[in-house]
Amino acid sequence: MNKNQSTKWNLDPAPESAGHVQLKTQYELFINGKWEKPNSGKYFDSINPANEEKLASVAHADENDVDKAVKAARHAYENVWSKLSGKERGKYLFRIARLIQEKAREFAVIETLDGGKSIRESRDIDVPLAANHFFYYAGWADKLEYAFPNRPVKSLGVAGQIIPWNFPLLMAAWKIAPALAAGNTVVLKPSETTSLTALKLAELIEESGLPAGVVNIVTGYGDTGSAIVNHPDINKIAFTGSTNVGKMIQKAIAGTDKKLTLELGGKSANIIFEDAPIDQAVEGIVNGIFFNQGHVCCAGSRLFVQEGVAETVIQKLKDRMDTLYVGDPMDKNTDIGAINSKKQLETISKYIQIGIQDGNEIYQSNCALPSNGYFCKPTLFIDVAQSSQLVQEEIFGPVLTIQTFRTVDEVIQKANNTPFGLAAGVWTDKGSKIFNLTSKLRAGVVWANTYNKFDPTSPFGGYKESGFGREGGLHGLEAYLG
Amino acid sequence: MTRLSVLKTYKIYIGGQFPRTESGRYYSPLDAAGKPLANVCLSSRKDLRNAVVAARKAFGGWSERAAFNRGQILYRIAEMLEGRRSQFVEELMLQGSSEKAANQEVDLSIDRLVYYSGWTDKYQQIFSAVNPVASSHFNFSVLEPMGVVGVVAPQNSSLIGLVSTIIPIVAGGNTVVVLASEKLPLCAVTFAEVLQTSDVPGGIINILTGTEKELIEQFGSHMDINAVLYAGDTAENYKTLQVLAADSVKRIVKFKLNPSDETAENPYLIQDFQEVKTTWHPIENIGGSSSNY
């Protein structure tokens, strides 16, 4: 595996061992601190996208199960959690943070097995960030009166939370930690392709001694999510996922008192100026689009290069792409792992076909892909029109479009010209230009001379059809307070 | 045959080490029954100067650590204190507390450490600002730690007084030289042992035992101490401190809360030992393009 034709030397395989990982063959629903069989008796398979082998059976929750979970959450909210002092709530969250740190390796391995992302990323990014997120919000639990001056601190009640498959554990942490810190209880649904780390988190929460019903985890498909969204006794919906589903949720809860935050899709511009440090910028482009196989809502999927350096940047980018290791996600050398699911691979392939049919110049890195599992070569489309589907629609894979520009004004217009507004990147040596761009770009996060940086203290979220509300930082508390 | 117990030598804590006072002197605080508790170091002005050197040396590294990392370390102190709580309870009782009061004091100290552990990466978000100046500039103000801070701990408290005064200061990235309670010094020395096993780098917190009367002038006049928190109860000493502090424009803050009170904790105790730094940066506005989307 990992034979890479274009480099002169190859690294030997360095696979992480999965020997110490404890996975059950079948997972039930985590409701009211107990493991409950699903009402329907139905289970679905969670598979490893890198070899298409089954990892475990996972319970499929229906309306009745969701109702049970909401009742448990309501009961825990009324009788236990809302009566606990902020200090004690915080101490539970600190415990959870510590337990994640203690079990970091197990979580990283399961995340990689279940989701296909490289072990390097799950080990160094997903899991530590998840622990840090709990640690950060743990500290807020007894300090809420400082967050929004002159506003009485009031929790909302039961939060229904639906999370995606691209950062399964991290998204669970982003949702659960602030909700609990602010005094709410939770019913959380992970994505059907990546339930396992959320279920391991449920085991860990059991171990932490968190009162029963404060966190409930129900697994399933869209119908399970829809049962959460439509449940009358939920006070708050937090959703991270596609813009289409986000719009459906916003419609579904219209006319109710449910509070809503949406973190949806993106088509973020990564802008390289002539005065940028080119080698660093090329690294930033690679990180921006190929991080997590491009399954990143804030991926820098639209590259804008100023004309004077376009040729150099594109050549260096191609050279750099050829050195990327695509293959076994469990291998510590792997840069790009498996595409999360067959369905997602089909979506990405569809867009690549559209790009080719439209007559765009395509470049794919020169690497061999494993014969099993779902893999996609890192792909560039060069000189793509602003109106192209590839530029306007979210692909959610390792596919980058490249456009060139001459002036600052031109790139501002082009960068802002999509329905999305999640993130953007700016590469230039000149500080005054950075701040011009950060004030003109209509996006919730702007990275200057860096890309895809995340921190529990830093708010994240979008403008326009990328959703509303912020997660992380002081601003992330707002979503969970009345 | 009865076993003879091994008694502990109470030493001071400077730069992560446990030296005896360079002066070789001692004093013997008494327990409630008037019996000597232990022979404790009577620190000299030279010990204070040594402690300031250690604190200054540690300041750069500590203040540049990520706020998150400082929080992790403070949380680790809480974990270690919880593990050694029985020793603190015992010492508090030796110094006259009831068992119940001693346990409450240790509980409160642990929870207070956890409380400030949570503030390290949050106070900046409460007190900093982006300032909407009228010209085309990006202008922001952030807090930065003052440097080496001297602390005169409360006289009437052994553990919670020490924790409540020094922890907000180190949470904000300062390093500390603290003079423990003269009458109740035992927990301060034992707390140093907790610090040494808690991933706290040497020199961040330096703990001296001795008399306020002897050291107060040096706290005020030392040219390399940036600020002093006075939690003692002698008006005369406080004034001496204020007068001498003027020679180095030292910041002097008085600790006015009762540390045993559950509400004697807030982020303003962190802010008291922070400077405000404002940065201006131009925003270039070339073609005047607007973001109308």
**B220: amino acid identity, one letter:** G
CA distance B254 to B269: 10
A240 has which bridge partners? A263
Predicted confidence at residue A68, as pLDDT, reads 98
Comparing B30-34, B183-187, B203-207, the range with the smallest average pLDDT is B30-34
How many Cβ contacts (< 8 angstroms) between chains A and B? 90
- Could you list the active site residues of A? 263, 297
Of A142, A146, A431, the CB nearest to B126: A146
Percent of chain B with pLDDT over 90: 93
For testing contact with chain B, the best of A435, A438, A458, A470 (most B CBs within 10 A): A435
Of the pLDDT bands very low, low, confident and very high (cuts 50, 70, 90), residue B33 is confident
CA distance A343 to A91: 41
Chain A positions in Cβ-Cβ contact with residue B75 (cut-off 8 Å): 94, 135
Residues spanned by CATH 3.40.309.10 within chain A? 269-455
Average pLDDT over residues A1-15: 65
Is residue A12 scored above 70 in pLDDT?
yes
| Tokens (6 digits) for A204 | 């860990």
Q: Are A412 and A446 in contact (CB under 8 A)?
A: no
Pairing state between β A53-59 and A43-48: antiparallel
- Average pLDDT value for chain B: 96
- Chain A, nearest residue to B263 by Cα: A142
CA distance B117 to A142: 12
Taking only the tens place, the pLDDT of each residue in A295-307 is 999 999 999 999 9
Higher pLDDT, A6 or B176: B176
Average pLDDT over residues A178-194: 98
Residue B12 lies in a domain: no
Taking only the tens place, the pLDDT of each residue in A308-352 is 999 999 999 999 999 999 999 999 999 999 999 999 999 999 999
Minimal CA separation from B263 to chain A, in Å: 11
Helix axes A104-115, A127-140, angle to 10 degrees: 120
CA distance A186 to A180: 8
Domain span holding position B203: 26-282
CA distance B197 to B59: 19
Dihedral over Cα of A133, A136, A139, A145: its sign: negative
Taking only the tens place, the pLDDT of each residue in B49-100 is 999 999 999 999 999 999 999 999 999 999 999 999 999 999 999 999 999 9
Residue B53 lies in a domain: yes
CA distance A204 to A16: 22
B75 in A contact zone (CB under 8 Å) = yes
Taking only the tens place, the pLDDT of each residue in B2-26 is 899 888 889 999 999 999 999 999 9
For testing contact with chain B, the best of A136, A426, A454 (most B CBs within 10 A): A136
**Superfamily for the A269-455 domain:** Aldehyde Dehydrogenase; Chain A, domain 2 (3.40.309.10)
Could you tell me which residues of chain A have a Cβ less than 8 Å from any Cβ in chain B? 87, 90-91, 94, 132, 135-136, 138-143, 146-147, 407-409, 412-413, 416-417, 421, 430-433, 435-436, 439-442, 456-457, 464, 473-474
| Tokens (6 digits) for B35 | 């019996």
| Tokens (6 digits) for A343 | 């369905």
Minimal CA separation from A361 to chain B, in Å: 30
Taking only the tens place, the pLDDT of each residue in A466-475 is 999 999 999 9
- Chain B, nearest residue to A97 by Cα: B72
Percent of chain B with pLDDT over 70: 97
Is residue A446 scored above 80 in pLDDT?
yes
Supply the CATH number for residue B101's domain.
3.40.605.10
Are residues A440 and B67, on separate chains, in Cβ contact within 8 Å?
Answer: no
Neighbour count for residue A226 (Cβ, 10 Å) = 19
Minimal CA separation from A21 to chain B, in Å: 27
Split into its structural domains, chain B has a count of 1
Q: What is the DSSP string of A1-37?
A: ----TTSSS-PPP-BPP-TT----SEE-EEETTEEE-
Pick the closest to residue A171 from A295, A286, A77 (CA basis).
A295
Chain A positions in Cβ-Cβ contact with residue B72 (cut-off 8 Å): 135
Average pLDDT over residues A28-42: 98
Predicted confidence at residue A262, as pLDDT, reads 98
Predicted confidence at residue B2, as pLDDT, reads 86
Predicted confidence at residue A1, as pLDDT, reads 41
Of the pLDDT bands very low, low, confident and very high (cuts 50, 70, 90), residue A280 is very high
Helix (H, G, I), strand (E, B) or coil at A155: strand
- Average pLDDT value for chain A: 96
B282 in A contact zone (CB under 8 Å) = yes
List the CATH code of the domain at A26-264+465-480.
3.40.605.10
Helices (H), A32-151: 63-79, 86-102, 104-115, 119-121, 127-140
Q: What are phi and psi of B136, to 5 degrees?
A: -85, 75
Higher pLDDT, A9 or B37: B37
Is residue B182 scored above 80 in pLDDT?
yes
Taking only the tens place, the pLDDT of each residue in A80-129 is 999 999 999 999 999 999 999 999 999 999 999 999 999 999 999 999 99
Write out the H or E segment, with its range, that includes residue B147.
Answer: none
- Chain B, nearest residue to A434 by Cα: B283
Predicted confidence at residue A9, as pLDDT, reads 66
Q: How far apart are the first and last CA of chain A?
A: 53
Taking only the tens place, the pLDDT of each residue in A416-442 is 999 999 999 999 999 999 999 999 999
Helix (H, G, I), strand (E, B) or coil at B88: helix
Q: Are A236 and A259 in contact (CB under 8 A)?
A: yes
Predicted confidence at residue B292, as pLDDT, reads 66
Q: Residues for chain A: how many in total? A: 482
Are residues A435 and B281, on separate chains, in Cβ contact within 8 Å?
Answer: yes
Minimal CA separation from A416 to chain B, in Å: 7
Residues spanned by CATH 3.40.605.10 within chain A? 26-264+465-480
Are residues B284 and A473, on separate chains, in Cβ contact within 8 Å?
Answer: no
